[in-house]
Amino acid sequence: MTNATISYDDLTNASANAVRSAIRKGAYTGHTAGLAAGKLQCNLAILPQEFALDFLRFCQRNPKPCPVVGISDNGDPKLPTLGHDIDIRTDVAMYRVFRGGALSEEVTDISDVWTDGFVTVALGCSFTFENALMRNGIPVRHLETGRNVPMFKTNIDLVPAGRFGGQMVVTMRPIPAEQVDTAREISRRFPQAHGAPIAVGDPAQIGIDDLAVPDWGDAVDIKDGEIPVYWACGVTPQNVLLDANLPICITHSPGHMLIADVAEDAETTILT
Amino acid sequence: MTNATISYDDLTNASANAVRSAIRKGAYTGHTAGLAAGKLQCNLAILPQEFALDFLRFCQRNPKPCPVVGISDNGDPKLPTLGHDIDIRTDVAMYRVFRGGALSEEVTDISDVWTDGFVTVALGCSFTFENALMRNGIPVRHLETGRNVPMFKTNIDLVPAGRFGGQMVVTMRPIPAEQVDTAREISRRFPQAHGAPIAVGDPAQIGIDDLAVPDWGDAVDIKDGEIPVYWACGVTPQNVLLDANLPICITHSPGHMLIADVAEDAETTILT
């Protein structure tokens, strides 16, 4: 049940602020890929403040899957370093509320759930480097074919902090062999968006059994002359939060990101 | 009074571990500029854990003066993501202990002061990008002339968090006009070490009265054809800590940095 009245196509040329405004009113509840072109989009982790210090430690120790781009004050729904007038209770199109480590509800507004005890942590997202790859003539298969990026659990241990830990989740994109070095060089320029690849080539080296069977998202074809390239994935912190079995935490729903006013290729993610 | 028995010259070809070992034994108490070439050196902030979350928020919001490269667990003197077997109580050559916002003592070992309530935050340092400038043929005046870099208070407001805030401190390096763009491009590659310049040219634009009268460090000559270039400085967090008037906090003494085992040009500051 939704009162959504604005379509994706209506928003394709809208500003970040206009997209957030449509979302805030409940008029748009769809995904945000490709909206507000050039602006930083963010993964979201909202958690009780008593876990925030350990979660920030965890993110600092695992910067490729968990690049922190914004942190709220305790109980403050604003994120002034990421955008003008962001209200994190209403400005994301779809949220997932987890209680005791299990999905409890998926909602378009968390005003009813919000308490003064929450801290919001915003994390960078792969949209940023995918846009840069495409600007540089490197194809991104799942976007070409209208699919979701394939995501895989790996055997790469994360550096733990407090109750946060586990294994890294990666995305896979097939890249023409002669463009792998360029893809590495370009994505490395975006430490706020997972940076350079974690691995290239044989999936077995990082504990992936079968590239045709992703743990999340859609399988994509790997053509002759292409090599599978693996990047750290923003689903990692979501999984880690789930496994941490917090009394409550909130994330965005996959693909429904927070859109910031910060340019995605800015040197820092702090609005000036 | 010191039992220092090893000179700077004795250590010029020593590994990071060997330098830390000499420091740990109290055999070396000097500055670390130029030692363990190629390894990351770090500014240090040790503070009571109840202030750590706000301090990390402050650093995230001010990434150019305060690039976080390591965070300890509560009360743990180890920093395993920065180096093998680092003990932060002994592995820095000179510490400053502040109590109630004032310098209390300068010591070569903080084992007596250490408590289970401390958190260590390590921050990047300008040595990293200075080395990169020199490798690329850009002169660094204060190093050429054997001086300390000139540092200045500015009127650039920091983004506050909790009791942490104030104005940015910058360093100034005169750069030949035709190399300013290259210097910007090179230093931007090191977000863990203050990144690209904050300002270029007229000191008045950032509230500096007289480049011949630095607030810390030594004045340097600006030759014909050179332009003053300003970078965010690691003295900023030290000043902010001082102004925050904490019951106790500990920093390194200027120039006496923590030497990590991480390569200074690594993609992340996490040891793998």
Cβ B191–A52 below 8 Å, yes or no? no
Side-chain half-sphere CA neighbours of B245 within 13 A: 3
pTM of the full structure = 0.96
ipTM field: 0.95
> Is A153 found in the same domain as A178?
yes
- Closest C-alpha to A262, from A57, A110, A122, A52: A122
Cβ A81–B63 below 8 Å, yes or no?
Answer: no
Q: What are phi and psi of A56, to 5 degrees?
A: -65, -40
CATH number, domain with residue A168: 3.30.2040.10
* Nearest by Cα to B138 from B231, B243, B15: B231
A106-119 per-residue burial string, b: 16 or more CB within 10 A, e: under 16: eebbbeebbeeebb
Instruction: Find, in chain A, the residue whose alpha carbon is nearest to that of B69.
Output: A60
**Helix H segments across A39-100?**
52-61
| Contact at CB, B161 and A73, closer than 8 angstroms | yes
Does residue B215 lie in a domain region? yes
Nearest to B267 among A49, A196, A267 (CB): A196
- Within 8 A of B162 by CB-CB distance, chain A residues are 73
Question: Which of B216, B258, B266 is CA-nearest to residue B77?
Answer: B258
Residue the block writes with tokens 């040790």: B46
The verdict on B219 touching A (C-beta cutoff 8 Å) is: no
Residues B226 and B251 grouped into a single domain = no
Nearest chain B Cα distance for residue A198, angstroms: 11
The answer to whether residues A215 and A255 belong to one domain is no
* Parent domain of B172: 127-236
Chain B contact for A196, CB < 8 A? yes
- Compare CB distances from B68 to A52, A60, A196 and report the shortest one's residue: A60
Distance CA B118, CA B247 (A): 12
- Chain B residues with CB-CB distance to A49 below 8 A: 53
- In total, how many domains does chain A have? 2
Q: B5, B27 in Cβ contact below 8 A?
A: yes
Order of all β-strands in the sheet with A199-200: A151-157, A167-176, A226-232, A199-200
B118/B180 same-domain check: no
CB contact under 8 A, A63 and B268: yes
List chain B pLDDT tens, one digit each, 272 residues: 456 899 999 999 999 999 999 999 999 999 998 899 999 999 999 999 999 999 999 999 999 999 999 999 999 999 999 999 999 999 999 999 999 999 999 999 999 999 999 999 999 999 889 999 999 999 999 988 888 899 999 999 999 999 999 999 999 999 999 999 999 999 999 999 999 999 999 999 999 999 999 999 999 999 999 999 999 999 999 999 999 999 999 999 988 999 999 999 999 999 98
Do A231 and A248 lie in a common domain? Answer: no
Residue A193 sits in the same domain as residue A136? yes
Cβ–Cβ below 8 Å for B56 and A56: yes
CB pairs under 8 A between A and B: 59
CB-based contact, A60 to chain B, within 8 Å: yes
Decide: residue B211, CB within 10 A, 0-12 exposed, 13-18 middle, 19+ buried.
middle
User: Which residue of chain A is at minimal alpha-carbon distance from B81?
Assistant: A61
Same domain, B112 and B150: no
Tell whether B120 and B158 lie within a shared domain. Answer: no
Residue numbers in A near B161 (CB within 8 A):
73
Residue B102 lies in a domain: yes
User: What residues contact A44, with CB distance under 8 A and at least 6 apart?
Assistant: A88, A92, A95, A120, A121, A122, A123, A250, A251, A252, A257, A258
Residues B12 and B80 both lie in one domain: yes
d(CA B64, CA B201): 19
Task: Say if CB A67 and CB A192 are below 8 A apart.
Answer: yes
A264: Cβ contacts below 8 Å, ≥ 6 apart: A38, A39, A40, A41, A127, A128, A131, A190, A193
The reply to whether B153 and B226 lie within a common domain is yes
| Position B107 in a domain | yes
Residue A226 to residue A240: CA distance in whole angstroms: 31
Residues B107 and B180 in one domain: no
Whether residue A3 lies inside any domain: the answer is: no
Kindly report, residue by residue over A91-102, the tens digit of the pLDDT.
999 999 999 999
